[in-house]
Amino acid sequence: MGMIDWAIVLVYSAIVIAIGAIASRKQDNTDEYFRGAKQIPWWALGFSIIATSFSAASLLGGPGEGYGHGFLYLQLQLGDLIGYGLVIAVFLPFFVRLNLTTAYEYLERRFDAKTRSLGSLCFLLFVIARLGGLLYAAALVLSVLTGISTNTAILMVGVVSIIYTLPGESPP
């Protein structure tokens, strides 16, 4: 990568960090952190969920999958859009109406605390596996771009991710 490329990456990173820092200062409690103090309409929450599902892997791997497998990959993306539409149109209004923040709250209300814990544990295991894969994918890209070892890139991406995430952690 040339100097201009690195400058673009650094400026973009600084903008993202600044936006995160400014937004995190406006959060005083968990209601503001998770639901925007109930000021965000359900459809905007839906689009936030969609945006959250994108990662470096989908942005880097998606075009390659589309090129390699053609319309087969497009079918998967269309299925995702249908699923997102269902979540936005059916589940979010339902959760807002019941004053719920998470699906796990619903599991506890509908069944019991053990069911909520089991659902949370299953999701936690999924997220750990997914984030491990995303960390590795981002490190591979960094390794190819810079020529550093993959292990060093994993460490760098991990440390930067932790530093970026900690200031925005959930308030008490």
| pLDDT tens string 84-132 | 888 888 888 888 889 888 889 999 999 999 999 999 999 999 999 989 9
**Mean local confidence (pLDDT), 137-157:** 91
| pLDDT tens string 73-88 | 778 778 888 888 888 8
pLDDT at site 56: 66
In a domain, 94, yes or no: yes
In a domain, 2, yes or no: no
| Residue 83 lies in domain | 43-99
Q: How big is the chain, counted in residues? A: 172
Distance CA 8, CA 24 (A): 24
**Mean local confidence (pLDDT), 18-45:** 71
**Longest distance between any two alpha carbons in the chain, whole Å:** 57
Q: How many domains does the chain have?
A: 1
CA dihedral 18, 53, 95, 29 (to 10 degrees): -20
In a domain, 123, yes or no: no
In a domain, 28, yes or no: no
